[in-house]
């Protein structure tokens, strides 16, 4: 090679090598967007906005939230999977991330290969609820009723692959009973019919059930967490009802596209950890029946491990149930 050309080539390579750390050091140089793969106003949207505001404050840059709903959260996730891995397009997604591959035959992304995990953010228990006129006033009475008449009872959820759908499948598998499943286009219509005595049972997030439980619009039977929750302290856990197999929480994680620089991931990890330690964030999440994850879980390693565990848990359950999305 010509000595001058060789020198120029080496200089360019050296400049490129120095540029990458500089770009990471300047991150974020402009607003960051977090995609929520569900409609505005729902639990995931609220969680994302609370976390985004605190992260933006810590990073000194605005963090925006964009709602890209549809297809059980897969459209928004696909958008981020195909985005540039520069740290400016992120995803807040919940437990549905772990079941999308099992539910969708033609999924446009791989949950384990097309994303960079950044950290776990929040966790919320589910609550097993019933219509106000249901002939069961305790979790024991409800389980007896389902075991005796479950084949003729209805259980609602707000969409295939959503948390309520998964909780319902887990409950039916634990009891060995197949109920009549009624899918809705969103939690709102499902809750409306539950309050109106049109469906029998629904297992949904504490985020959406605490208010109608408190005002007597629906019955509450048990929470699916390891411990009782402050917002419903008199409600037993499923473990107390000898139903320990029904343990499910709606965990949210923060992801970016695959191939992100380690320095950018580290910056986001630090901002996420600062956000979930923020007293204002903790209080705001408590208002919607959600708690931040321990700081030690707000890491790429913890999120990756959670995703792997949940995929292993849900794949066989979905296969046995024979329920798949189109």
Per-residue pLDDT tens digits for 9-55: 444 555 444 444 555 679 999 999 999 998 888 788 989 999 999 99
pLDDT of 110 reads 97
pTM above 0.85, yes or no: no
| 126-223 carries CATH number 3.40.190.10 | yes
Helix and strand counts by DSSP (H, E) for the chain? 11, 11
Instruction: Determine the average pLDDT of the residues in 291-320.
Output: 95
Query: How far is residue 18's CA from residue 117's CA, in Å, rounded to a whole number?
Result: 25
Q: Where in the chain is the domain with CATH 3.40.190.10?
A: 126-223
Cα separations (Å) of 251 from 55, 155, 202, 246? 18, 22, 19, 15
**pLDDT score, position 15:** 47
So what's the pLDDT on residue 23? 53
Q: What backbone phi and psi angles, to 5 degrees, belong to 125? A: -75, 165
CB 190 within 8 Å of CB 164: yes
Query: What is the per-residue pLDDT for 320?
Result: 85
The topology (CATH level 3) of 31-123+250-321 is D-Maltodextrin-Binding Protein; domain 2 (3.40.190)
Per residue in 107-165, pLDDT (tens digit) is 999 999 999 999 999 998 999 999 999 999 999 999 999 999 999 999 999 888 888 99
**315 closest CA partner among 19, 99, 47:** 99
pLDDT of 21:
52
pLDDT value at residue 6: 53
Residues 6 or more apart in contact with residue 42 via CB below 8 angstroms: 187
For residue range 207-253, list pLDDT tens digits in order: 889 899 999 999 999 999 989 988 899 999 999 999 999 999 999 99
Where in the sequence of the chain do the CATH 3.40.190.150 domains occur?
31-123+250-321
Residue-level pLDDT at 20: 46
**Dist CA 48 CA 51 (whole Å):** 5
Residue 301 has pLDDT above 60, yes or no: yes
Q: Are 203 and 128 in contact (CB under 8 A)?
A: yes
DSSP letter at 230? Answer: T
The mean pLDDT value for 71-94 works out to: 96
């Amino acid at each position: 090679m010509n000595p001058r050309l060789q020198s120029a080539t080496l200089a360019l390579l050296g400049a490129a090598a120095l540029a990458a750390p500089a770009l990471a050091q300047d991150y974020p140089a402009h607003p960051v967007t977090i995609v929520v793969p569900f409609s505005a106003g729902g639990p995931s949207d609220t969680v994302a906005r609370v976390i985004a505001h605190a992260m933006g404050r810590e990073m000194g840059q605005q963090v925006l939230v964009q709602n890209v709903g549809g297809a059980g959260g897969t459209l928004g996730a696909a958008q981020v999977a195909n985005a540039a891995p520069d740290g400016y397009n992120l995803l807040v997604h919940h437990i549905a991330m772990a079941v999308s591959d099992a539910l969708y035959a033609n999924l446009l992304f791989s949950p384990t290969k097309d994303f960079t995990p950044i950290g776990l953010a929040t966790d919320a228990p589910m609550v097993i609820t019933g219509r106000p006129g249901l002939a069961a006033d305790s979790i024991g009475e409800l389980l007896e009723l389902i075991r005796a008449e479950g084949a003729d009872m209805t259980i609602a959820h707000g969409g295939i692959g959503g948390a309520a759908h998964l909780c319902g499948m887990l409950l039916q598998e634990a009891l060995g009973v197949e109920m009549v499943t009624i899918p809705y286009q969103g939690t709102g219509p499902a809750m409306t019919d539950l309050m109106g005595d049109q469906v029998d049972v629904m297992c949904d997030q504490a985020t959406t059930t605490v208010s109608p439980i408190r005002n007597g619009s629906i019955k509450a039977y048990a929470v699916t967490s390891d411990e009782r929750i402050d917002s419903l302290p008199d409600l037993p856990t499923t473990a107390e009802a000898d139903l320990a197999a029904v343990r499910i929480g709606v965990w949210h994680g923060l992801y970016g596209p695959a191939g992100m620089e380690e320095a950018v991931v580290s910056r986001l990890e630090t901002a996420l950890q600062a956000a979930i330690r923020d007293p204002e964030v903790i209080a705001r999440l408590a208002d919607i029946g959600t708690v931040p994850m321990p700081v030690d879980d707000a890491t790429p390693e913890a999120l990756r491990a959670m995703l792997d565990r949940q995929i292993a848990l849900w794949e066989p359950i979905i296969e046995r149930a024979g329920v798949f999305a189109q």
